Structure 1
């Protein structure tokens, strides 16, 4: 009724070590953390374009250094930051730019993900940086910095 299986199962683990390269848990966490920090860097660069700020410039440099460290010295690819006018033209009635609010919310979420991975791999430097970025973006979401642009 059924045709017999003629090929080797793809689920067989015998001899699988030679078939494809394996990464350690630490390597996987490094890759994941570098990805979260690179995404946070991209959002930070977007924020810098909408609302130039020395704190964001410093944060972007720190993020770029961390990503390069996790990628064995290879710097992250970054878009050139070009400052735009304030951002209040698209602002809502309370003087806040909804684009800034959305970017700060996205950055806060990415920093949270980076913090979880950094804590998992016991990377103190990355965890501290991610926690600082979470605090900064939470403060911005609360409105302490959104109206400044």
Structure 2
């Protein structure tokens, strides 16, 4: 980085900070997912409950935002915020109307929805491997 221009250095710093922020968010969501699974299993403690409450809107929202890799960051943040709230509302409304509601089952449903959204996002964002990567094939 000795001969780099200021623009190149600032770009490198932004990339490094973006990676560390992604690692922090991933770690936090992982902890929240584990706490939600523990809550669904019936473990009762203060940190488990707090992290499970964090996961309820953040889990489905983060999975929705992850499934939109080519979009701008503000759009992904809006989809994450409102999509997570909408997903939780739909889960609660469906479970209440079917008379299946309990906090344990609600946490488990949010965890399952997040896993399903992550799986769909992984399938949708998979890119081809090999030498033809990034090229379009015309018949």
TM-score (norm. length: structure 1): 0.27
More helix by share: 2
TM-score (norm. length: structure 2): 0.28
